[in-house]
Amino acid sequence: MPDLIAIEAEPAESIGIAQRAGFDGLDIRFNRFTDAVIGFGVDRFRDEMSAAGLRPGYCSLTAQKIGVDAYEWAREIADLPRRAGVARELGYERATSVVLPFSDELDFAANMAMHVERIRQAADILADFGIAFGVEYVSPKSRREGKKHEFVHDLRGALELLDEVDRPNAGLMLDCFHWACAGESESQIAELDPSIIVAVHLNDFVQGRSINEQTVMERLLPGESGLIDIEAFLRGLVRCGYAGPLTAEPTHPRWKDVPADRAAKQTADSILSCLARFRGGATATSERESHP
C-alpha cells in the first residue's frame, strides 16, 4: 500500500510508481479508491496494470480495523459488494483488515463475539466474489499498554478467533514484526495450512529498543537492522507452502520527507535484497507481488 510509506497517490498513479520501482504487483485500498478506479475505467485500469507488468497483490475492502464503531462498520459492509465487484474484476482475490489487541469498552468475551460476527459478515459477502479475507493480529506490548481490556495479540489467539469464525475464506495476514514481538517461531508458521495465509508483511525492528519498546508506527525496511530473523520467517512460509504476495510495511515518520519514487524504490529493493539473501527457495516459491 503506497500510504504505508507516506505516498499519497490514487491507484492509477500508483501503477507508474510501482513499475518504476521494480515491484511485481500492486496493493490497493478499495475502501478509499473504488470510485477513483471506476472513474478511471476498470478495463483501462486492468490494461494499464498488465502493460506495466503488475499483478494483483492484496487489497483493503472493509474498514482497516475490525473494531471500528458500529455506524462505520455498517457503512463499510453496505458498500462491500460494490467494492468487491470492482476488485474481483481486476483480479484481486485477497483482502485484509486488522484486529486491535485491546478495547476500552468491551471485555474479552464481548470483543470476541463482535469480531466473530463482523468477520463472518465480511467473509460471507466476499465468498460470493471468490475473495479471501485475512485478519492481522497486532502483538507489540506498546500497543495494548494502559488499555482496559486486552484482546487477541498473537498467532495462537488469531487461530482461535478464526476457529470461532468458521468460514473457509477467512484467514490470516501475517506480519514478521508481530510474529517477532510475540516471540513466535519458524515452526509455528511452518505448521500452518498455507490456504489460511492471505497476505504477508515484511519489515524490521528499530535498533536500540527492546521487543517491548517496539512500536507499530516506527518500523524499518525489511532487513534494514537485521534484528528480526526474516530468513526464519521466510523459511516457515516456504515450509508450509505459502505462494502468495509479500508486501513491505516499514511504517515510519521519516517517509513524509522522501519523494514517492525514491521511497518506493528503496522499499522494493529491500524486499529483493531479503529474498536474495534467503537460501530456502523463497524467490521460486513466492510470487513476490508487493507494493509498499
* 290 assigned to some structural domain: no
The closest of 233, 231, 201 to 5, measured between CA atoms, is 201
Q: What pLDDT is stored for residue 1 in this prediction?
A: 83
* 291 assigned to some structural domain: no
**What's the whole-model pTM score?**
0.93
- Taking 70 as the pLDDT cut, the residues of the chain under it are 279-292
* 176 assigned to some structural domain: yes
* 164 assigned to some structural domain: yes
Tens of pLDDT, residue by residue over 87-122, are 999 999 999 999 999 999 999 999 999 999 999 999
Q: What pLDDT is stored for residue 214 in this prediction?
A: 95
Q: What pLDDT is stored for residue 73 in this prediction?
A: 97
Residue 232: domain span: 2-285
* Structural domains counted in the chain: 1
* 216 assigned to some structural domain: yes
Question: What do you get for the CA distance between the two ends of the chain, in Å?
Answer: 5
Q: What pLDDT is stored for residue 76 in this prediction?
A: 97
Residue 30, domain CATH: 3.20.20.150
* 246 assigned to some structural domain: yes
* 231 assigned to some structural domain: yes
* 265 assigned to some structural domain: yes
Q: What pLDDT is stored for residue 292 in this prediction?
A: 40
